Structure 1
Amino acid sequence: MALINIESFKALYPIAESENLLAEYASDLLDCDLKRGSLAPVNDDLLLSIPVQDDTEDFLFRTIPSPESTPTLVNHLDCDISVPGTVTTTDSYGSAYSSTAFTAGSAILVFQVGQTHTNIYVGLDQDPSASSDANTIDFAFYLRPGGGGEGTVDLIHNSTPLDIGDPIYTANTVFKIIYDGSAGIVKYYMDTGEGFDLKYTKESVADNLVFYFDSGLYGSGVSITNISFVALEDSDGIYEWDTPVDIAKNLDSITSERILISGDGYPKEADVALGSTGAGPWPAATRRNGLPAPDTAPGLSIGGSGTEVQGEYSWVYTYYFTRPDGTVIESAPSPPTAVITVDVGETVTLTTMAYPSPAVDGCSYTGVRIYRLYSTEISSLYHFVREQTNVNNWLDNVSDAQASANAVLETMDMSTGFPVSWDVPIDTLKGVILTDFGFFVGYSGNEVYLSVIFVSYAFPGKYSLSTDSEIVGLGYTGSIVVVLTKANPHILSGQNPASVSIRRLNYVRPCIGESRSIISTPAGVIFPSKEGMSMIDNTGTETLITENIFTAEQWEALNPETFTSFLFQGRLVCFEVGTKNVHIIDYRKGVYEKGQALRIVRGALHEEADQLIYIITDDASTGRELRVWRGGTAKDYSWQSKVFDLIPKTSISRGNIKGDFSGGKTASLTMVKDGVDMSPITITGEGLVNLGRKLSNNVSIKLSGQAKIKKIYLGRSASEALNV
């Protein structure tokens, strides 16, 4: 029997003493892929050809890959293509391809399959009409049959099978192939329910290739479903800021891609028409989020005369601005005029309606809207009477009947039983997030501000709520907003901002990071505290989710106050901003991995649409660059085992290695005996390895390289290492 058996590879379990670790746990590691129990490499960061300013700290893509679309399909052999996005065979073998091709040097293919009991080929092909033979597809997933509702996955490159370790798929698995001609690569992804996982990258692929969707299916009634085939459009630039900001998507216009920006001076908005013009940097321009209310009531000039009372009236006016997409921003109303009695035959002219002087920075105005109150026994509401761009000297000749049929003033809400003014957001508002109920929440100091439902630019002062400590950031989970402070957390509950309640939680748990360290998930809001990563669920219950992973000292050494954090593929990915360090925490499995970016990280963004993390990196020689974290080619891993005590003193002289060394990949093995590194040994294939003869009281194993290592058995002799 082998003296030391490492039959799977796991990450770090820092809180445990080394001697108490199982054999498969690491004592140190860097940039390892351990998701399937083997030791494999991760990819390096991929440089994108998008310029970045030298002081960029935060960013957002101006454009994203095109929406998924259903291709027009062609029945090549015995297939039913009558259902859009679906291919179903009508005989024992069928083939179908798309009539659409992408010639811009890039393409994305996404699909699912309806079964796991047969052979299915799906991929990208340059000339699908030339042959219905599935083996001729240029770049394809080869899905092989399995049992129990599962199948296994291989790849096909130009008729040549490629083993990628037989990952398992089901009928719910989503597959994706991306051809990126600018980088010369084809990437294969699978999503089994936790986001797309990169399975393989084919390098040295020519650029500007023309690809079609192509397929081959064995068996009658076999189907490919939810087929999407689109061009991968490189983003032509990013919005970028020289300070961390908070971004919330506006709901009032999807086509305009409007965003709310807080944390960079007064709150702002940007959209395609405003922010994406010119040659960059972007946003080219922003506008203040909201318009201030007029300071003074309109002037009134009474003309004519009469003896019969017509009614009692009052007027207010608002500023408004019509955005290029037709949506309107409207301010809260001016102070009202005095209620005056107007006789039949008298005229009223409104005067001295003026824009702010001096002008309010960042505001644009289209004109004013005038509202009139006609006081009766049953109504005392202001109704719209006129919209005009000339702000002075308007004769109000709108009849009472016509005015009462017009819209009621919205920006002074009377429906709650007391007037609620649509106040412009305060200049120091930051951390703005959007709730599922359509209202926005931001903060300043120890005050929380809530917007009107579906109105991003109105934050009534009467909706504001207070905490007893300075606020650090906001998160959202379930139906509550978690307010994180420098002391006790608070939660906001309610679906209507007019009636939202605030509750101070009865424990102290300061958030020590900035707002970009806070992660909102369905299970709870996750944030760095002094003791570790904490999570507060929608009942207000707090859990220290890293309690069984790190000691307080170990946690402090990670510099959690610098984190930019994401929940990515089921794990916490925390970038230590200002360094190359990346901390990957699987709090469900209770393990921790260390990673390192290629260069110093200044900012990061998780794009859920394509399940990638983008980073701004910094280097003295190249300046700041935009990269896809772990989106490039394979890089060397480093993994070291625990220290194994040998009693009595023993010579571990033989190793038995199991792994995958295809493509010429190698690994390096270094024995550490009594704390001293022996000469490294290059491993080029499976089998026995001579480790040299040296007696020691303890040993540890260091592994590095790019070959996949599945198992290692160590012994005092060849027969012992082979006896597994």
Structure 2
Amino acid sequence: MALLSRVGLFRFCFSEIPMPVLDIVTMRGTMPRVEPHLLSDEVAMIASDCHFDHGVISPLEDDASAGVELPIVPTTLFHYGQHWFAWNKVVEAMRSPIAQDPYGRVYYTDGEYPKVTHAQIATGGANKPTAWYRLGIPAPGVPVGVGTITPPSGGVDDDLIDDETRFYVDTFVTAMGEEGPPGPASGKVTITIPGSSVALLLTQPTSQSSNITKRRIYRSVSGGGIADYLLVAELPIAQASFVDNRADGELGAVLETYGYTMPPEGLRGLCQMANGMCAGFAGNSLYLCEPYLPYAWPEKYRLTTEHDIVAISAIDTTLVIGTKGYPYLAQGVSPASVTTQKLSQLPQACISGRSMVAMDGVVLYASPDGLVGVGANGGQVVTEQVITRKQWRAMKPETMRAWHHEGKYVALTDTHAFIFDPKSGDIRELTNRWDAAVSDMESDSLFVAKGRSLQIWRGGSASNGQFVWRSKLFMTPEGTSFSCCRVLAGDIAKVGITLLVDGEPVMELSPGNLVDGAFRLPPVRGRFWQVEVFGTSVVRRITLASSMAEMVN
């Protein structure tokens, strides 16, 4: 009797135990660091060529033609109005910080020397930019020569206390009105008779790589406890002499370009900060320009880091500096106030300068351990919980180049391509590759160059190929069996499915063979279950159940 009672009780309890149902209603990318059976239900083991902008699996759109054939296969692209600059090397380019710049200047560094181009010379040929100048203006190397001092007609030196001692300096000026630093001062000129004229001898610049077209001459004036150089005249650069017969009251503005030195030959990483500041680096030195004057890089603004700098990127008035050692922050509202802070709690070197991208107030870059995110208040390895160091190193992050698009970090290496979503903290693989790319804020598009063809990434309406999404490893009681499945999709005819049990595929239906509703599964049992869907249509839900009745519920 007792045995019968226990058997009856067992059957009652067993009938109350619900049969297993696997119901995937939201989907995400991969987190390779986590063991497959410990992943959240929505996280994938494989997520290739798909996005999750709507919380479900959506195929990536096809690239659309931009209607441009480039003259070369580029490494770097830059969008300039209706034109495209293309270089076959790594270049960092920026627009002019001057509001409504009438010349449309673009400044860039390419490993040779810093350069500037503008609308009048950049777009005339097939290979753009067609022409450029050396960025910066040299100081005159030879002092202004002093010739004959001619007193005014009838002038007599009858007052010893009215003698005047003066010096002359000159500066070079470009065709766009940019004025360089002064050269060495002339020899002492003593004017014994007021109103005397001074003949000045001028030397031509040794190089014309900076588009110098004019010269300004200044002379020293003292009085009222103030001594400075005031403008005497602006002359054509070809003029070899000048006679100064101007009175002090006829002189012009004060010389302001002291220290406006040229940027160093090896300057790299040119970028723009807030308040008209621009930055670049060479070795372990950070250089800052005068506000709104990207041709003037005073030595007094130079800052140094412990290790050589690899890349820099700006977020507002903060500059993130990736080095071969610790990252740094440089912060300030003006070049004179900028100070650096070493992030000693974050020993993460930048191993690829082209991996550094600023997006949503954070700068991301590739380090040996993963993607590092640095903001104005510090940083961390943002992929620490997503991917292991070994998995990361297998992707060859030292070859990484990256761009931002719609809040996502899009990256290519020599062996891999992926999208990282900082908000959801997952990775999606890409099979699509390109030679160069640039994020264009005006059109909110990522332009990619495939060979010489310029295209808009995800600019089309159709899928760019078959996506693949494989679920986590669902661990069920030993011997579990599911008898039916249902896939909800935008177009079920464009979706296929593979069912894996204990690591082995037990069923595969290619696109065109799925029914719009529940369908039977093979009679198999196992403990570890996975479902993989692939195709070119949105997949909104995947359900596995032990009976049709459970599927209906």
- The answer to whether TM tops 0.5 is yes
Q: 2:277 aligns with which of 439, 443, 459?
A: 439
Amino acid in the other structure paired with 1:584:
I
Matched, 1:573 2:420: no
CA positional deviation for 1:667? 0.5
User: Does the C-alpha gap of structure 1 residues 717 and 507 become closer, same or farther in structure 2, counting only changes over 3 Å?
Assistant: closer
Matched, 1:672 2:500: yes
Q: Verify the 8 A CA contact 2:48 2:469 in the aligned structure 1.
A: yes
Q: 2:401 aligns with which of 564, 573, 583?
A: 564
Residue in structure 2 matched with residue 340 of structure 1 by the alignment: 189
SS in 2 for 1:679: strand
CA positional deviation for 1:473? 1.3
Matched, 1:484 2:331: no
> Whose helix proportion is higher, 1 or 2?
2
Deviations along 1:472-501, one digit per CA (max 9) or x if unpaired, are 111223422222211122222322323432
Residue in structure 2 matched with residue 625 of structure 1 by the alignment: 453
Matched, 1:595 2:430: yes
**Highest CA radius of gyration, 1 or 2?**
2
| TM-score of the pair, normalised by structure 1 | 0.68
Residue in structure 2 matched with residue 296 of structure 1 by the alignment: 142
Identity of aligned residues (%): 25
SS in 2 for 1:380: strand
Q: 1:605 aligns with which of 432, 438, 450?
A: 438
Q: 2:530 aligns with which of 675, 700, 719?
A: 700
Q: Verify the 8 A CA contact 1:435 1:476 in the aligned structure 2.
A: yes
CA distance in 2, matches of 1:500, 1:477: 14
CA positional deviation for 1:60? 0.6
RMSD of aligned Cα (Å): 2.2
CA distance in 2, matches of 1:33, 1:520: 21
Q: 1:314 aligns with which of 137, 144, 167?
A: 167
Deviations along 1:645-666, one digit per CA (max 9) or x if unpaired, are 45443443321222322xx852
User: Does the C-alpha gap of structure 1 residues 23 and 521 become closer, same or farther in structure 2, counting only changes over 3 Å?
Assistant: closer
User: Does the C-alpha gap of structure 1 residues 534 and 679 become closer, same or farther in structure 2, counting only changes over 3 Å?
Assistant: closer
User: Does the C-alpha gap of structure 1 residues 707 and 691 become closer, same or farther in structure 2, counting only changes over 3 Å?
Assistant: farther
User: Does the C-alpha gap of structure 1 residues 54 and 691 become closer, same or farther in structure 2, counting only changes over 3 Å?
Assistant: farther
Amino acid in the other structure paired with 1:553:
K
SS in 1 for 2:173: strand
CA distance in 1, matches of 2:527, 2:32: 24
Q: 2:62 aligns with which of 30, 38, 44?
A: 44
Residue in structure 2 matched with residue 554 of structure 1 by the alignment: 391
CA distance in 2, matches of 1:504, 1:703: 47
**1:399-418 maps to which residues of 2 (within 5 A)?**
399-403=247-251, 406-412=252-258
**1:127-526 maps to which residues of 2 (within 5 A)?**
235=82, 237-252=83-98, 253-278=100-125, 280-305=126-151, 306-307=156-157, 308=159, 309-323=162-176, 328-344=177-193, 346-356=196-206, 359-360=207-208, 362-389=209-236, 390-403=238-251, 406-412=252-258, 421-507=259-345, 509-521=347-359, 523-526=361-364
SS in 1 for 2:427: strand
Q: Verify the 8 A CA contact 1:6 1:712 in the aligned structure 2.
A: yes
Deviations along 1:486-526, one digit per CA (max 9) or x if unpaired, are 11222223223234323333235343343332123453322
CA distance in 1, matches of 2:542, 2:342: 53
SS in 2 for 1:601: coil
Gaps of 5+ in 2: 1-18
Deviations along 1:183-212, one digit per CA (max 9) or x if unpaired, are xxxxxxxxxxxxxxxxxxxxxxxxxxxxxx
Residue in structure 2 matched with residue 160 of structure 1 by the alignment: none
User: Does the C-alpha gap of structure 1 residues 350 and 275 become closer, same or farther in structure 2, counting only changes over 3 Å?
Assistant: same
Moved more, 371-380 or 269-278: 371-380
Q: Verify the 8 A CA contact 2:326 2:349 in the aligned structure 1.
A: no
SS in 2 for 1:269: strand
CA distance in 2, matches of 1:304, 1:456: 42
CA positional deviation for 1:377? 4.5
CA distance in 2, matches of 1:592, 1:649: 33
CA distance in 1, matches of 2:360, 2:297: 26
Moved more, 394-403 or 522-531: 522-531
The aligned length equals 521
User: Does the C-alpha gap of structure 1 residues 723 and 23 become closer, same or farther in structure 2, counting only changes over 3 Å?
Assistant: farther
Q: Verify the 8 A CA contact 1:665 1:706 in the aligned structure 2.
A: no
CA positional deviation for 1:7? 1.9
Q: Verify the 8 A CA contact 1:667 1:707 in the aligned structure 2.
A: yes
Matched, 1:17 2:35: yes
Higher relative contact order (CA 8 A, sep 6+): 2
Amino acid in the other structure paired with 1:30:
S
Q: Verify the 8 A CA contact 2:470 2:531 in the aligned structure 1.
A: yes
Q: Verify the 8 A CA contact 2:23 2:542 in the aligned structure 1.
A: yes
Residue in structure 2 matched with residue 162 of structure 1 by the alignment: none
CA positional deviation for 1:437? 2.0
CA positional deviation for 1:564? 2.4
CA positional deviation for 1:282? 0.4
Q: Verify the 8 A CA contact 2:490 2:538 in the aligned structure 1.
A: yes
Residue in structure 1 matched with residue 487 of structure 2 by the alignment: 657
SS in 2 for 1:516: helix
CA distance in 1, matches of 2:338, 2:474: 58
Amino acid in the other structure paired with 2:200:
L
Q: Which runs of 4+ in 1 moved over 6 A?
A: none
Q: Verify the 8 A CA contact 2:51 2:428 in the aligned structure 1.
A: no
SS in 2 for 1:48: strand
Amino acid in the other structure paired with 1:671:
L
Residue in structure 1 matched with residue 16 of structure 2 by the alignment: none
Amino acid in the other structure paired with 2:167:
S
CA distance in 2, matches of 1:624, 1:57: 11
CA positional deviation for 1:260? 0.8
Matched, 1:691 2:537: no
CA distance in 1, matches of 2:93, 2:169: 34
Q: 2:463 aligns with which of 612, 634, 658?
A: 634
Deviations along 1:121-161, one digit per CA (max 9) or x if unpaired, are xxxxxxxxxxxxxxxxxxxxxxxxxxxxxxxxxxxxxxxxx
User: Does the C-alpha gap of structure 1 residues 575 and 255 become closer, same or farther in structure 2, counting only changes over 3 Å?
Assistant: farther
Q: Verify the 8 A CA contact 2:352 2:366 in the aligned structure 1.
A: no
User: Does the C-alpha gap of structure 1 residues 53 and 447 become closer, same or farther in structure 2, counting only changes over 3 Å?
Assistant: same
CA distance in 1, matches of 2:360, 2:275: 15
SS in 1 for 2:392: helix
User: Does the C-alpha gap of structure 1 residues 473 and 546 become closer, same or farther in structure 2, counting only changes over 3 Å?
Assistant: same
User: Does the C-alpha gap of structure 1 residues 693 and 254 become closer, same or farther in structure 2, counting only changes over 3 Å?
Assistant: farther
**1:77-92 maps to which residues of 2 (within 5 A)?**
none
CA distance in 1, matches of 2:273, 2:305: 19
CA positional deviation for 1:293? 0.9
User: Does the C-alpha gap of structure 1 residues 508 and 538 become closer, same or farther in structure 2, counting only changes over 3 Å?
Assistant: closer
Q: Verify the 8 A CA contact 1:509 1:529 in the aligned structure 2.
A: no
Amino acid in the other structure paired with 2:69:
P
